Amino acid sequence: QMKRSGLHIISNFEDMLTPVVIETKAAGHVAFYGMPYNDPEQVRYVYKEPVSTHDEAHKLLAEKITEQFQSEHRNILISHCFVDGAIESESERPLSIGGSDRVSHEHFLNFDYVALGHLHQPQEKGEEYIRYSGSLMKYSFGEQNQKKGFTLVEIGKDGFIGAEHIELTAPHEMRIVEGELEQILEWGKTDPKNEDYLLVRLMDKHAILNPMEKLRTVYPNVLHLEKPGMLIGVEQEMAQAKLARSEIDMFKDFFAEAQDSELSNEQEQAISNIIKQLSQQ
């Protein structure tokens, strides 16, 4: 039923060898081969070949597909794999450990076009016709500078003609904003894109009460907060010097941060009395 509706799911190596063929005016018959996600163990078991790496597995499968080529067809491969040397993003799940999932683009040179999936950044690898279209949306802040979209591919009777990246702009971008809290709050008051999804890096070198609550008054879609400005390493010596201050001075700083006002003389005297009583216990 799904095939009749134009949706094809190719999930095994047998179906992989039977292409979905579409007749077009510009390119004649175009054959789409779907290579299922695979690992060396699967390929070794099915084909009884001494395959031990992802690269060897994809080389063998590509050879099996090219054996099915017909001269009047333009041949397109759809594959989910990691082509060696391609650019990764932090949101992608590793296919294996230690780089053993890398596959050479040279196994795909006999195709007219290779549509790759897995990596989120739009890019070509090895040849212009071997491409990752990338994800339509940004899935991590590491992708904030990537230009998302889709790929418009032109195929003619002689094969690949060209490809164009068509950029898509999301209503709300993912961005990283860095600065001190008061500075970021001022930016947010006039930022026309204040509803973007943000990772905020606070550079303040002191503790702040409820920073996320304050940030969301101007940036309602803050998703993550980092505090690289908090005192570490050499600056810990400065922190130790601050700890040497009197209890009343530290409480006055806390009160000013929490209430956005200063202690009155009466309040300061009351706190001093409490601190004195506690120190005598």
The residue that leads in pLDDT, 281 or 106, is 106
Least confident of 30-34, 41-45, 245-249: 245-249
Residue 277 clears pLDDT 90, i.e. is over it: no
The residue that leads in pLDDT, 98 or 197, is 197
At residue 130, what is the residue type? I
**Over residues 79-107, mean pLDDT:** 78
In three-state secondary structure terms, 256 is helix
The residue that leads in pLDDT, 237 or 75, is 75
What confidence score (pLDDT) does residue 108 get? 97
What confidence score (pLDDT) does residue 278 get? 80
- Sorted by sequence, the CB contacts under 8 Å of residue 65 that are 6+ apart come out as 16, 17, 33, 35, 77
Residue 87 clears pLDDT 90, i.e. is over it: no
The residue that leads in pLDDT, 237 or 3, is 3
Percentage of residues in the chain with pLDDT exceeding 70? 90
CA–CA dist 150, 127 (Å, integer): 18
Residue 78, strand partner residues: 34, 115
At residue 53, what is the residue type? T
Q: Other C-beta atoms within 10 Å of 197: how many?
A: 17
Residue 24, strand partner residues: 28
Residue 166 clears pLDDT 70, i.e. is over it: yes
- The structural domains of the chain, ordered by start, are 2-167 (3.60.21.10), 174-279 (no CATH)
Q: Other C-beta atoms within 10 Å of 275: how many?
A: 14
What confidence score (pLDDT) does residue 165 get? 96
Residue 231 clears pLDDT 80, i.e. is over it: no
58 within 8 A of 109, measured Cβ to Cβ: no
**Over residues 61-79, mean pLDDT:** 97
* Highest mean pLDDT (candidates 94-103, 183-192, 245-254): 183-192
Residue 28, strand partner residues: 24
Residue 19, classified by CB atoms within 10 Å of its CB into exposed (0-12), middle (13-18) or buried (19+), is buried
Residue 1, classified by CB atoms within 10 Å of its CB into exposed (0-12), middle (13-18) or buried (19+), is exposed
Residue 91 clears pLDDT 70, i.e. is over it: no
Task: Report CA 235 to chain centroid distance, whole Å.
Answer: 33
pLDDT single digits (tens) 167-210: 999 999 999 999 999 999 999 999 999 999 999 999 998 888 89
Percentage of residues in the chain with pLDDT exceeding 90? 66
